[in-house]
Amino acid sequence: MKSRLPPRASGPLLKLTAFKDITYSLCYVAMVLNFWAVYFAFYYVGVYARSVIGLETKDSITVLLIMNGVGIFGRIVPNYLADRKFGALNIIIPVTFATGIIIFA
């Protein structure tokens, strides 16, 4: 991937003045909640498969492995589409909704 802008001079690791911009702050909160929801699913899919669905421990681990395997496709294709065709936000919004539907289905 090529950078569109020249590299900036090094500065502080965390720039707290960026949070004064309300758009940036809302985007930050949305991404925190987005990743929180994704990791919640990975941590509890095994427990859900055992207690609600009634699978054995071996099969619940298989469900987790399938989720990780599908993640390979889910990491490559949206990134390609965002970089080449549609843009990052135009991809992350439908992918987030699709992930939520799949998790709660």
Q: Is the pLDDT of residue 101 over 80?
A: yes
pLDDT band at 1 (very low <50, low <70, confident <90, very high): low
C-alpha distances in Å from residue 86, one per residue of 35, 82, 91: 21, 5, 7
Q: Is the pLDDT of residue 2 over 80?
A: no
Tell me the pTM.
Answer: 0.53
pLDDT band at 7 (very low <50, low <70, confident <90, very high): confident
Contact at 8 Å (CB) between 92 and 77? no
78: buried, middle or exposed (CB in 10 Å: 19+, 13-18, 0-12)?
A: middle
pLDDT band at 68 (very low <50, low <70, confident <90, very high): confident
Residue 92 corresponds to which amino acid?
I
Helix (H, G, I), strand (E, B) or coil at 105: coil
Mean pLDDT of 13-19: 87
C-alpha angle with apex 38: 37 to 42, nearest 5 degrees?
Answer: 115
